Amino acid sequence: MSFRTIDELEAALRGADYLPDRGLSTALFLSLALEKPLLLEGEAGVGKTEAAKSLASALGARLIRLQCYEGLDVAHAVYEWNYPRQLLHIRAAQEGTVSEAELFGPEFLIRRPLLEAIDTDDPVVLLIDEIDRADEEFEAFLLEVLSDFQITIPELGTIRARRRPAVVLTSNRTRELHDALKRRALFHWIDHPSIEREVAIVKLRVPGVHERLAAQAAAFVRELRALDLAKPPGVAETIDWAMALNALGRQEIDADVVEQTLGSVLKYREDIEQVRDETLSALVDSARTASAR
Amino acid sequence: MSTGDAITRHVVTFGRVLREVGLEVGPGRVSDALRGLDAVELTRQEDVYFTLRQTLVSRHDELDLFDRAFLAWFLRAPVLPPVRLHQHEQPVARVVDVPVDRPRDGEGGATDGEPLELGASGHELLREKDFAEMTPDEFRRLRRLIQTIALTRPRRASRRRAPDPRGDLLDMRRLLRRSLRTGGDVVDRTYRARKVVPRKLVVLCDVSGSMDSYARALLLFLHAVVGSGPGVEAFAFGTRLSRLTPDLATRDPEAAIDRCTEAVVDWGAGTRIGASLKQFNDVYGRRALSRGAVVVVVSDGWEREDPDLVGREMAKIARAAYAVVWVNPLKGNPEYQPLAGGMCAALPFVDRFVAGHNLRSLEELAAVLAGIERRHAA
């Protein structure tokens, strides 16, 4: 499936239960149109990973995800040989009848996400999540793969992509990425959504939620983000929290219920204590007023 | 002239405007921008804005500059001229340093450099001399020595492995290929071992008035540390925090220090240690810069404001870091007691407390860094 305009893509994303702002729709659209990887950065919880998942479902493509971590290597990102099977195979065969070509053939290959994304005929969205966690050596390797869309396995030869996967990279900026990688990609910074969009997201994701509850929850989370917290809540937290409040049968928030459910919005003890001690009822009031406007 | 040509000219010129304010906009980016504009509706200003931004900018901290340039260029809004990100001109004074750097070019330059000209006794004297009492000339001779010291970095085992006969993990790929000849019997084993790589190092250096005499020596040290390889981040603080890593990443220490003094506006002003540490935690700590790192704080601990804040922020740093080292030049005085409020508040979260007032104490610091162990929760 392909999209001729940004509006078309936006509509398809909405169909996949994702409400992007215009900037993100433009970024995803350009990434498809120019066939360039898209690097998404932003605070934790603004929906970077979710964007890639929704793109896949809007495209009717398979999502292949590579979660990065320190020490991620070729064996876990690209391919690995199935050593136990190889060993059994040699043992089972008559001595001297197994050739090296047979032993290192496709049936003994374990395919990891990058190889999977390149060696396929299906449309694919390749999500390379939290690339900043991988070592710099791996980043250099990835750069190579993303330039040529080919992978070389010494025993089998070079495998070329028959169709280029759409590529989305996310980073939490725990370190700066290589300039070369940035040059290769389009860049989009995702901000926290506007209040209207966050209310819309909550209503979309929490079926049956009361209009007023959605508005107050979004307004309250917005107040929290303005505080000086160790981890300001993201959209995911707003959704979780609205779900909890909805499950409690609430139609609006008050200081008591916020106190009970604060743990689904704030994930650090210091943050919860800070909000509890000083500001909780003032925040609730101000959120209720803001959402009533 | 067709509309296409006009747009091309417009975008190319805009690229030049961005380069002038310090963004890295190469021809590849400009061509992406043009291809992008080809694909979107030009009538919608928002789409044009995002297309240009997403193709021409690659860093979050450049967005603000881009926005101002975009406003000025495309919307002709009356705005202040954007500030420059980097000053590329080199200070003229740098020429003076050329002879000092020359030994580095020759083979074995590091050992043939001027430290040896000092002779053994001069060398020893220099090692013991308090930085605050050094002449500019002695200071220059100090440089090479400091560079050697800074090469010692804390290390950690990488998750990546390389062939190593003393390794702890079987190299199955090689092993299998070899065992083909023996019908599946493993005759000789091949191993892989973890490589050892430098551990992340974060240095926060107090450059306020009370630290003035030590700041230049410590900056030399910082410069050498940043030059020792990847994974080093350096910050200076007084009343607020400045990131120095980009400024220190030049090969010439004097030029680097000049750039730093330009970058740190409040050089030699008062100290707000707590507020500066908080700024570090909020901006960089949240990005996990200090996670698993050895964090070195260089300061005399004279907090002008709230010492409790120093304690709270040090606690946050200690939680994320692998280990915390505090360097206090005052500790070089045998009479010294850590009485300053900020120092008292910080000490419970410090793994190693060392001096840093002369060359010998920097050597000790390097030894501490090389052998540092993870802090153990009490």
How many angstroms separate the CA atoms of B295 and B42, rounded? 50
Please state, for a pLDDT cut of 70, what percent of chain A lies above it: 98
Domain ranges of chain A: 6-189, 195-292
Which parts of chain A are beta strand (E)?
Answer: 38-41, 62-67, 79-81, 109-111, 124-129, 150-153, 157-160, 166-171, 186-189
Predicted TM-score of the model (pTM):
0.64
CB atoms within 10 A of CB B205: 25
**A78 vs B80, higher pLDDT:** A78
Class of domain B199-370 as given by CATH: alpha beta
Q: Which of A19, A132, A32 is nearest to B39 (CA)?
A: A32
Reported ipTM: the value is 0.84
Give the pLDDT confidence of B209-252 residue by residue, as tens digits. 777 777 777 778 878 877 777 788 888 888 778 888 887 777 77
Domain ranges of chain B: 3-74, 158-197, 199-370
Is residue B293 within a helix (H) or strand (E), and if so which, with residue range?
A: none
> What does the block give as tokens for A5?
């305009």
Residue A205 C-beta-side C-alpha neighbours within 13 Å: 21
- What per-residue string of b and e applies to B335-369 under the rule 16 or more CB within 10 Å gives b? eeebebbbbbbbeebbbbbbbbbbbebbbbbbebb
Interface size A-B, in CB pairs within 8 Å, comes to: 111
Q: Which residues of B touch A41 (CB under 8 A)?
A: 60
How many angstroms separate the CA atoms of B301 and B304, rounded? 9
Q: If contacts are CB pairs under 8 Å, which of residues 252-291 in chain B contact chain A?
A: 282, 286-289, 291
Q: Which residues of B touch A176 (CB under 8 A)?
A: 59
For B179, the closest of A30, A72, A90 (CB atoms) is A90
Q: Which of B32, B46, B70, B176 to mutate to test the interface with A (most CBs of A within 10 A)?
A: B176
Is residue B197 within a helix (H) or strand (E), and if so which, with residue range?
A: strand B191-198
Give the pLDDT confidence of B295-304 residue by residue, as tens digits. 999 888 888 7
Q: Is B119 left (phi over 0), alpha (psi -120 to 50) or beta?
A: left
Architecture of domain A6-189: 3-Layer(aba) Sandwich (3.40)
Q: Which of B23, B34, B40, B50 to mutate to test the interface with A (most CBs of A within 10 A)?
A: B50
pLDDT of A108: 92
pLDDT of B328: 87
Q: Is B320 part of the contact surface with chain A (CB cutoff 8 Å)?
A: no
With beta carbons less than 8 A apart as the criterion, state whether B337 and B374 touch. Answer: no
Q: Is the pLDDT of residue A277 over 80?
A: no
Give the pLDDT confidence of A61-88 residue by residue, as tens digits. 999 999 999 888 888 999 999 988 988 8
Q: For the residues A150-160, what does the mean pLDDT come to?
A: 91
With beta carbons less than 8 A apart as the criterion, state whether A94 and A31 touch. Answer: no
CB within 8 Å: B176 and A5: no
Q: Which of A224, A226, A218, A240 is nearest to A291 (CA)?
A: A218
Which of A55-59, B184-188, B363-367 has the largest mean confidence?
A: A55-59
